[in-house]
């Protein structure tokens, strides 16, 4: 089956080849873990390398900052917009939720105009500012995500978790049920250093990597690196070396 | 006593032979643990291998996605429907709760038309969107499940837990009391990899396996594998090797 | 002083001989730990082996299921009812709470007709469906339990706890104060297997076993087995081998 | 300074000689830890061994049970009442709170009639049934305890904690501030057995034992035994042997 | 810069010489940790040894008990009052909060009459009885503490925490922000004994000891003793010996 | 790209050179961890060493105390104000939130008058006193921070966390989303001493140090020191030496 490659080094292999078309995948993590970067990378790679135009729907309020942040990774969003390969929509959650229902809305027009196949929604968690009632919120988000799919888009939805470190993976019951995939980004304290960990927890209809890997945010975006080794409780935010490894680290292996 | 075999490799043995007729068993787990797959496998196996037609009641809103996901496991639901061995009912929780009370409702008709003996309800947790009051919700779910039994159905009820990892097994007091069995699916971090664990915690009126086993979701559905060995706290989501095993791993066994 | 033997292998010894007459003892545990089985065993043994007729007050809604479950353990409740040695009352919490106040109510009549000395109330936790206010609930349960004693009954009251695993023993402050005894049933993960543990935490006016024992639910009901050995934190749901035992398991004992 | 000896074997030594006159000391613990027994022992010893009459204010609703429980320890409360050395007042929290304000109330009369110097209030936690507002409750309990002191009484106040095991010592902020002393009774899982632990955490104006001791409830009441040794986290409910002790237990001490 | 010495053996050294004038320092701890004793010692030492008269503002309701408790440490408060070196104000939180705003109030008069430079407020936590709204409470406490400073007083403010053991240091956000210093007193279970620990967590504008020290409450007040050694997690209430120390305790040091 | 150096020894290196212009960075930590000191150091260094005037917006109510605290570090704020290199604005959260919207407000005037490029807001957490509704609060803080950027300011925003020790890094979801960077200051219990740890968790658009470092508050402000070594769980507040280090500490390394 067709796959939508993210083009992010190492990630497509974790995803068993990429995302499925017209699915929505959560990218969940704390502030600073690189959710937006991962999402932009997905959309920009589509536009520049895979001939798949894309849309960035952001609730960021500072266009200059936004374009600047992207430029720091070498992504010239304005240029891509001029080439009609990308459309950046700066909106508010309220406006986006109304617009999505309109077949002639901004988003629908952008899809039609660019032939977009990918979208980054940054961030879905802003919807919690719009609707306090959890059930109403859940239905609202469900409607929104379904509308994206109906527009033929493959979506990355960022979700910001508030405990920066620790706490179990949990984007609130209101989003896990609506996503076809779930990518968790985590800070992990390991050897007195704050590392970053990525895990593909779920990818509907596909096999995927199950190991927890390190990643770096480098000058050109995220790079997935080797899997963690000899550690326990990584996803809790505080990695603990396995006891066997601790023994070996201290004494060497007994029988070599 | 008669048993309703799931036909899932390894699971019937864990269940002491299968489910009892006209009982309802919870399949509880986080997003991506394979609850729906397990349930479909139960119903499809009934229709194709055990001559027991079945019903799938789903609150999924995308028929195409749903049939496609099943097809990825080699299950041609439309074909089975044409052969009158399966009926897929796509509904909403509200509609389903009303329909179940109607002796001429969709569900009753489907049972009559197909002679169905099995049902997958995917998912029972959607009922929490319909009714906020916990006591009313509990009674409503109770009525629903009892109605399934009165229709002669053996039911698998999926229940989605929101913490993806960690947290004690707990589907909320409102469902454990109404189920005749309880199958828990869990993500377990072990050796820096996210494994999957299955446990039959309860099966009314039957002996059953008590060990915690690994399972894989493969191209043709779930496969139960060997039990975990030398691990503690598996069901907490973070497995810890036993200290004795850690010593042996590091030093070899002292007296061999 | 007179004791009311449960007749459950191993349990009477744990209880220092049995229960005291006209007391009420909680049997608390998660779904599937065998609370109802233990309770039925207590009442059936009374009727068949100790010449003490009994009553089963259940809020179960499926008589067929109920009698069937009992039959699976070899208990023919209908036969016992015909011999006037047992009375099964299927009711709702609301009805039971009204009935208990009526000196000519169903329960009072059943006691009079059978000369019942034992009762199983399955389960007291259903009362939480009737009354939301915790103080009102507490007084209501208190009144109910006292009424049972006034009828000359010795009562086992089951209480279902919602976390299936883990969590401290706690039936809510609203029931511990009213019970003369407290028997806790627990799932315990040990060596990657889900074992069952029983503990008599309290028995007013009597010495009792203080060790935590394993038990099995077998074809004829519960069997108490040996105490746990070399484990810590059993009652937390996740047993941890003591470090000393771990050393010995890995290396053998140093000085033997 | 004068001390009010409890006469409980081992406890007076822990208390640095006994309680101070006209103070109120909390005895906090879970159901079944022996709070009432300890309190009765205090009052009965006063009446029989120290020539200090006493009062038992209980919210127990079954006089027969109450007298019977006491008799099981060899305490003939009715006899002591006839000798005017003891007065048992069975009341409700509501009535007690009104009565205490009345200089000619039952309690005041009982003090006058018997010359009582000691009182057991069993239990202070019942007041939480009377008043829901925490601040009002706090003031109400404060008034009540002060009234006891004004009557010249030295009081033991039992407080039932609802988690049977685990949880930090905490009788709610509403009582710790009003007590002159604080005795904690705990269940402790140790070596797969449920032991009992006693700790004097506070005794205003006095030195007291700071070690955590085991105790037994025997045929004549509580007996304080040796202190725990080589254990950590006793007060958490789950004792953990110290690692040094675990090594020695497994290997023997290295240099003996 | 001038320092206000507490005169408590060991504490001034921990504080880098003492408190700064016209600052307010929290003394936080559970019931029985000696907050009031420490505070009285501070004020009495001022009056008797440093020629700095002081005020004790207490919400204690039993004057006799209060003076008696102080006398037990050898502090004759009445004598100090007669010498105009001390003023004990027994009040309620409500009255104190009104009085503090009155330039001719009791407190202002007491400062003027005695030339007081120190004050113990025992306890600030009583203010939570007066005002339920957390923001209003915070502003009220802020106003109160500022008024003390305007009167030229250096204040110790006691704060009672309700979990007696365990729980992280936290006097509620409403007080930490208003204090210039923060002294934490803790029960610590260590080697099966309940020890006491003191830590100066914060002292605005000054260096201070950062180690956690033991202390005793002796016949003449608090004595700070040696720092803890080889322990972890002291401030959690349950000290854990470091693993290295455990090895050495069991085996001796390897290479000596 | 231009960087705004903090001038704090060690911190600029952690930040990859300094802050970016017109960004806002959170400095989060408990009372006494030195948030205000760090912030003042940032502004004062700007004014005195980098020719970048600055503003201090503080909700402190005691000017004398404030200037005095700064003087203790050798920072003569009044002198800097006279030289028009610094402006201290003492305000309330309410006033500041209104003023910020006014183009001729105090803050705007101060920027214009001094040419300020830096600001310390001490503390953002005071805004929680103004607005109780979390969504309104979030929007209000967002507006405020954006206004600072529009004025051309680079901002340090202090945030006081209420648990002094322990608890995961979490400034509440309401602030993490609005900050371009996040610096966490922590108390850490290590070897029975309360150390201080600093971590740059996030810095939008920049690489930064990921290790957790110790720091001291010295006579001239904060000094960042060496990174922690051989410790786990530092950010939890209770550092745990790694097991391998514990072995080496006790026995020496096996093969040297």
Q: What is the DSSP string of D78-135?
A: HHHHHTTSEEEEE--HHHHHHHTT-TTSHHHHHHHHHT--EEEEETGGGGGGT---HH
**Nearest Cβ partner of D212 from E194, E243, E245?**
E194
Secondary structure (3-state) at A248: helix
Reported as a single tens digit per residue, the pLDDT across A136-153 is 887 888 889 999 999 999
Interface test mutation site (partner C, options D29, D30, D32, D168, max chain C beta carbons within 10 A): D32
What's the average model confidence in pLDDT over A227-233?
Answer: 94
Instruction: Assess whether pLDDT exceeds 90 at residue F131.
Output: no
**pTM here?**
0.89
Per DSSP, the residues of C7-53 read --TTHHHHTTTSBPTT-EEEEEEETTS-HHHHHHHHHHHHHHHSS--
Write down the pLDDT at residue C84. Answer: 97
Cβ pairs B/C, distance under 8 A: 114
Angle at A79 between CA A75 and CA A83, to 5 degrees: 125
R_g of chain A computed on alpha carbons: 19
What's the average model confidence in pLDDT over D136-140?
Answer: 81
Instruction: Assess whether pLDDT exceeds 50 at residue E118.
Output: yes
Write down the pLDDT at residue C71. Answer: 93
Interface test mutation site (partner D, options C181, C202, C234, max chain D beta carbons within 10 A): C202
Residues of chain A with Cβ-Cβ distance to F149 below 8 Å are: 62
Using CA atoms, how far apart are residues E5 and E16, in angstroms rounded to an integer?
Answer: 10
Reported as a single tens digit per residue, the pLDDT across B144-177 is 999 999 999 999 999 887 666 665 554 455 566 6
- Residue with the two structure tokens 């070996």: A248
Give the A-side interface with F, CB within 8 Å. 30-32, 61-62, 68-69, 72, 125, 128-129, 132, 160, 162-167, 187, 189, 191-195, 217, 237-241, 243, 245-247, 249-252
Interface test mutation site (partner F, options E235, E245, E253, max chain F beta carbons within 10 A): E235
Nearest CA in chain C to D218: C207
Instruction: Assess whether pLDDT exceeds 70 at residue D172.
Output: no
Write down the pLDDT at residue C151. Answer: 97
Using CA atoms, how far apart are residues E65 and F222, in angstroms rounded to an integer?
Answer: 47
What's the average model confidence in pLDDT over C176-203?
Answer: 91
Write down the pLDDT at residue A200. Answer: 95
Residues of chain C with Cβ-Cβ distance to D252 below 8 Å are: 254-255
* A144's tokens: 């929104």
Residues 6+ apart with CB under 8 A from E65: none
Secondary structure (3-state) at F175: helix
Instruction: Assess whether pLDDT exceeds 60 at residue E217.
Output: yes
**Using an 8 Å Cβ cutoff, are A143 and A177 in contact?**
no
In the structure, what pLDDT confidence band is assigned to residue F166 with cuts at 50, 70 and 90? Answer: low
- Of C22-36, C221-235, E167-181, the range with the lowest mean pLDDT is E167-181
Write down the pLDDT at residue A58. Answer: 95
Chains A and B contact (Cβ–Cβ under 8 Å for 3 or more pairs): yes
**Using an 8 Å Cβ cutoff, are F248 and A253 in contact?**
no
Reported as a single tens digit per residue, the pLDDT across D50-101 is 999 999 999 877 787 789 889 989 999 999 999 999 999 999 999 999 999 9
Using CA atoms, how far apart are residues D74 and B209, in angstroms rounded to an integer?
Answer: 50
3-state helix, strand, coil in chain B (%, to 5): 35, 30, 35
Reported as a single tens digit per residue, the pLDDT across E65-106 is 789 889 989 999 999 999 999 999 999 999 999 999 999 999
* Report for C201-205, D228-232, E139-143: range of highest mean pLDDT: D228-232
Write down the pLDDT at residue E138. Answer: 77
Residues of chain C with Cβ-Cβ distance to D162 below 8 Å are: 170, 172-173, 176
What's the average model confidence in pLDDT over C119-148?
Answer: 86
Order the strands of the B154-161 sheet from edge to edge.
Answer: B86-90, B54-58, B118-122, B154-161, B24-30, B181-190, B193-203, B213-218, B221-227
Using CA atoms, how far apart are residues B188 and A236, in angstroms rounded to an integer?
Answer: 12
Chains D and A contact (Cβ–Cβ under 8 Å for 3 or more pairs): no
- E144-176 in b/e form (b: 16+ CB < 10 A) is bbbbbbebebbbbbbbbbbbbbbbbbbbbbbbb
Mean per-residue pLDDT over chain A, rounded:
89
**Using an 8 Å Cβ cutoff, are A176 and B245 in contact?**
no
**Using an 8 Å Cβ cutoff, are D55 and D120 in contact?**
yes
Name which of C76, E13, C161, E123 is nearest D176 in CA terms: E123
Using CA atoms, how far apart are residues F183 and B107, in angstroms rounded to an integer?
Answer: 58
Residues of chain C with Cβ-Cβ distance to D192 below 8 Å are: 211-212, 227-232, 234
Residues of chain E with Cβ-Cβ distance to D163 below 8 Å are: none
Instruction: Assess whether pLDDT exceeds 50 at residue D255.
Output: no
Write down the pLDDT at residue E168. Answer: 53
Residues of chain F with Cβ-Cβ distance to A163 below 8 Å are: 168-170
Number of Cβ atoms within 10 Å of the Cβ of E117:
22
- F65-77 in b/e form (b: 16+ CB < 10 A) is bbbebbebbebeb
Q: What is the nearest CA distance from F73 to chain E, expressed in angstroms?
A: 8
Reported as a single tens digit per residue, the pLDDT across F63-94 is 877 898 899 899 999 999 999 999 999 999 99
Reported as a single tens digit per residue, the pLDDT across A87-103 is 999 999 999 999 999 99
Write down the pLDDT at residue D167. Answer: 56
* C123's tokens: 């389960």
Say if the Cβ atoms of E244 and F246 lie within 8 Å.
yes
Using CA atoms, how far apart are residues B76 and B53, in angstroms rounded to an integer?
Answer: 14
Instruction: Assess whether pLDDT exceeds 70 at residue A251.
Output: no
Cβ pairs E/F, distance under 8 A: 115
Write down the pLDDT at residue C171. Answer: 47
Q: Return the DSSP state at D55.
A: E
In the structure, what pLDDT confidence band is assigned to residue C252 with cuts at 50, 70 and 90? Answer: low
Write down the pLDDT at residue C48. Answer: 98
Using CA atoms, how far apart are residues F4 and F19, in angstroms rounded to an integer?
Answer: 5
- Of A164-168, D114-118, E188-192, the range with the lowest mean pLDDT is A164-168
Using CA atoms, how far apart are residues D11 and E226, in angstroms rounded to an integer?
Answer: 30
Chains F and C contact (Cβ–Cβ under 8 Å for 3 or more pairs): no
What's the average model confidence in pLDDT over E186-210?
Answer: 92
* C233's tokens: 């934190």
- Cα of A253 vs its chain's centroid, Å: 40
The 3-class SS string of C94-159 reads: HHHHHHCCCCCCHHHHHHHHHCCCEEEEECHHHHHHCCCCHHHHHHHHHHHHHHHHHCCCEEEEEE
Say if the Cβ atoms of F164 and E184 lie within 8 Å.
yes
In the structure, what pLDDT confidence band is assigned to residue A171 with cuts at 50, 70 and 90? Answer: very low
Q: Which residues of chain B have pLDDT under 70?
A: 162-177, 247-256
Q: ipTM, 2 decimals? A: 0.87
Instruction: Assess whether pLDDT exceeds 60 at residue D171.
Output: no
Write down the pLDDT at residue E253. Answer: 56
């Amino acid at each position: 089956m067709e796959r939508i490659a993210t083009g992010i080094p190492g990630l497509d292999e974790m995803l068993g080849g990429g995302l499925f078309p017209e699915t929505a995948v959560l990218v969940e993590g704390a502030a600073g873990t690189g959710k937006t970067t991962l999402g932009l990378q997905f959309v920009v790679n589509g536009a520049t390398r895979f001939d798949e135009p894309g849309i960035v729907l952001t609730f960021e309020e500072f266009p200059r900052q936004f374009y600047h942040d992207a430029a720091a990774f070498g992504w010239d969003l304005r240029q891509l917009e001029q080439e009609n390969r990308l459309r950046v929509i700066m909106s508010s959650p309220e406006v986006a939720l109304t617009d999505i229902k309109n077949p002639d809305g901004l988003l629908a027009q952008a899809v039609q105009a660019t032939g977009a196949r990918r979208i980054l929604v940054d961030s879905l968690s802003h919807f919690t500012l719009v609707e306090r009632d959890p059930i109403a919120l859940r239905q609202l988000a469900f409607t929104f995500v379904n509308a994206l799919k109906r527009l033929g888009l493959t979506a990355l939805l960022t979700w910001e978790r508030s405990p920066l470190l620790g706490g179990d993976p949990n984007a609130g019951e209101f989003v896990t049920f609506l996503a076809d995939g779930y990518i968790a980004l985590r800070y992990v304290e390991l050897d007195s250093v704050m590392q970053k960990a990525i895990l593909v927890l779920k990818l509907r209809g596909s096999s995927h990597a199950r190991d927890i890997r390190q990643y770096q945010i480098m000058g050109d975006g995220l790079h997935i690196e080797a899997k963690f080794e000899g550690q326990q409780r990584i996803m809790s935010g505080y990695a603990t070396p396995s006891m066997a490894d601790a023994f070996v680290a201290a004494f060497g292996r007994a029988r070599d």
